[in-house]
Amino acid sequence: MSALTKLRSPVKPMVVEPRAILCSTGNRVKPSKTEIAAKKKKPQVAKSPAKSNFSASTDDSSSTTSSSERSSVKTAESKKLITPSKRNGSVTKHNSVAAAGDILPESPGPVKRCHWITPNSDSIYVKFHDEEWGVPVRDDKKLFELLVFSQALAEFSWPSILHKRDAFRKLFEDFDPLAISEFTEKRLMSLKVNGCLVLSEQKLRAIVDNAKSVLKVKQEFGSFSNYCWRFVNHKPLRNGYRYGRQVPVKSPKAEYISKDMMQRGFRCVGPTVIYSFLQVSGIVNDHLTTCFRYQECNAETETELDLHSIM
């Protein structure tokens, strides 16, 4: 057979396999309708409703764990409740169960005083604030003593003056203006405490001059008390300050009294000294309104005024 015949011989047809169709789930062949119908006819085996041993054991273990956790929490809470706590060196025990509606009584707070009294203040200073400062004084000797102490504040603090008060009274003849007015220069230079002058020479000479001025005032007004109290119509002034920063160191009234006293021969009686004198003698009530002594001093004043009106 020639080559041309071989080329013209019929070609056997090729068998073409079905091509896979690309579906949404991937490149897989879709099952035919016959196969789907056959699968539907197969009987389905019912699954047992009982849980497996593994799940049961898991539930048991979880329940055991939760119960143990609850018991441990209760134990921890009970231990926490009965554990004693230490506060300020004292041991207190908490009750495990608090009764419903029980209210612990409130402990009374500290007494409120003026701002210049602190927890670290000297006890003699606290007592002075609670019993003397701001209380109306009408005795001539006592008023003169407080005037001298107000002048001494330029050199000493109130606690220092109060600790030396007995020595002051002894050296100054219990602040009798008549006795002090007769002090000589030698007597003045002997007014010493622990080898030192109780006050500066200027203040000592001023005290003698002021004692002489007090005697002149007594002749004119009957008493030193009448002279001092007439500036406020014999009734204390109540400022009613709430905060310490509001309390002044001097006032127009103190400036007026200071000028009047200087004209009468008093020395070392500036407005600041006079305002301190007015405060300590109770001519002015400068206790803060939050201080427990504010209302007490007012009540004492009212009682005193009622007694004077009856007499």
Classified as helix, coil or strand, 216 is: helix
pLDDT of residue 149: 97
Own/partner contacts of 156-164, CB < 8 Å, gap of 24 or more, are 158/125, 158/128, 159/121, 159/122, 159/124, 159/125, 162/122, 162/124, 162/125, 162/128, 163/124, 164/193, 164/198
| CB 290 within 8 Å of CB 112 | yes
pLDDT of residue 88: 46
Two structure tokens written together for 181: 């007015």
pLDDT of residue 108: 57
Compute the distance between CA of residue 179 and CA of residue 141 in angstroms, rounded to an integer: 11
pLDDT of residue 300: 77
Compute the distance between CA of residue 215 and CA of residue 223 in angstroms, rounded to an integer: 8
pLDDT of residue 78: 45
The DSSP 8-state label assigned to residue 237 in this structure reads E
| CB 235 within 8 Å of CB 305 | yes
| CB 191 within 8 Å of CB 198 | yes
- 90-92 and 192-193 as β-strands: parallel, antiparallel, unpaired? unpaired
Q: Where are the beta strands (DSSP E) in 123-229?
A: 192-193, 196-197
Show pLDDT as tens, one digit a residue, over the chain (311 residues): 454 444 455 555 555 555 554 444 445 555 556 666 666 555 555 554 444 444 444 444 444 444 545 544 444 444 444 444 444 444 444 444 444 445 545 555 678 999 999 999 999 999 999 999 999 999 999 999 999 999 999 999 999 999 999 999 999 999 999 999 999 999 999 999 888 999 999 999 999 999 999 999 999 999 999 999 999 999 999 999 999 999 999 999 999 999 999 999 999 999 999 999 999 999 999 999 999 999 999 887 777 665 555 65
Q: What is the pLDDT of residues 28-48, one digit of tens each?
A: 555 556 666 666 555 555 554
- 237-238 and 284-285 as β-strands: parallel, antiparallel, unpaired? parallel
pLDDT of residue 30: 55
pLDDT of residue 91: 43
Compute the distance between CA of residue 166 and CA of residue 162 in angstroms, rounded to an integer: 8
Number of H helices, E strands in the chain: 14, 8
Phi, psi at residue 122, to the nearest 5°?
-60, 140
Q: Which domains does the chain have, with CATH numbers?
A: 123-309 (1.10.340.30)
Reported as type and span, the H/E element at residue 22 is strand 22-23
Compute the distance between CA of residue 216 and CA of residue 210 in angstroms, rounded to an integer: 10
| CB 274 within 8 Å of CB 254 | yes
Two structure tokens written together for 192: 């010493």
Compute the distance between CA of residue 147 and CA of residue 274 in angstroms, rounded to an integer: 8
